């Protein structure tokens, strides 16, 4: 069974401080990992995916297969980063997405 764990329900950081949202997963095969974000009063949307190795809005995430982690990082938090962040996993292709429980990021001005 595939599982995604986000240990922090709430993460508060000051503006300009580094951010790391933790995500660990369990899956026996080769998963595809994603980060989704939901800003206040907006729909859930894709932030980034590991396969693209991209940086979106200053966020990056590296898949560490040894530690089965996919932590989301940003060197300098901005107020507009405040949102709910969900780590997600799929087994590839058109398969269901398994979500973590989400972490609320609160950036303090």
Partner 1 sequence: SAVISQKPSRDICQRGTSLTIQCQVDSQVTMMFWYRQQPGQSLTLIATANQGSEATYESGFVIDKFPISRPNLTFSTLTVSNMSPEDSSIYLCSVEEAGGVPEAFFGQGTRLTVV
Give the residue, chosen from 10, 30, 80, 93, that forms a contact with partner 1 under the rule CB under 8 A. 93
Query: Rounded to the nearest whole angstrom, what is the least distance from the CB of residue 46 to partner 1 in the complex?
Result: 6
The reply to whether 26 sits near partner 1 by the rule CB under 8 A is: no
The reply to whether 31 sits near partner 1 by the rule CB under 8 A is: no
SS3 65: coil
Q: Measured from the CB atom, is 73 or 99 closer to partner 1? A: 99
Identify the CA nearest to 84 among candidates 42, 18, 39.
39
Give the residue, chosen from 52, 66, 67, 109, that forms a contact with partner 1 under the rule CB under 8 A. 52
Task: Cite the beta strand spans of 24-97 per DSSP E.
Answer: 24-26, 32-38, 45-49, 60-61, 72-74, 83-90
The reply to whether 85 sits near partner 1 by the rule CB under 8 A is: no
Contact 23, 100 (CB under 8 A): yes
* Nearest-angstrom CA–CA distance, 66 and 77: 28
Q: Would you tell me which residues interact with partner 1 (CB under 8 A)? A: 32, 34, 36, 42-46, 49, 51-52, 86, 88, 90, 93-94, 96-102
């Amino acid at each position: 069974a595939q599982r995604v764990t986000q240990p922090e329900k709430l993460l508060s950081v000051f503006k300009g401080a580094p951010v790391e949202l933790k995500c660990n997963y369990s899956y026996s095969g080769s998963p595809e990992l994603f980060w989704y974000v939901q800003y206040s009063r907006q729909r859930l949307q894709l932030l980034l995916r590991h396969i693209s190795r991209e940086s979106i809005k200053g966020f990056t995430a590296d898949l560490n297969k040894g530690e089965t982690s996919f932590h989301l990082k940003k060197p300098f938090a901005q107020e507009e980063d405040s949102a709910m962040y969900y780590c997600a996993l799929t087994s590839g292709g058109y398969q269901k997405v398994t979500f973590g429980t989400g972490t609320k990021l609160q950036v303090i001005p």
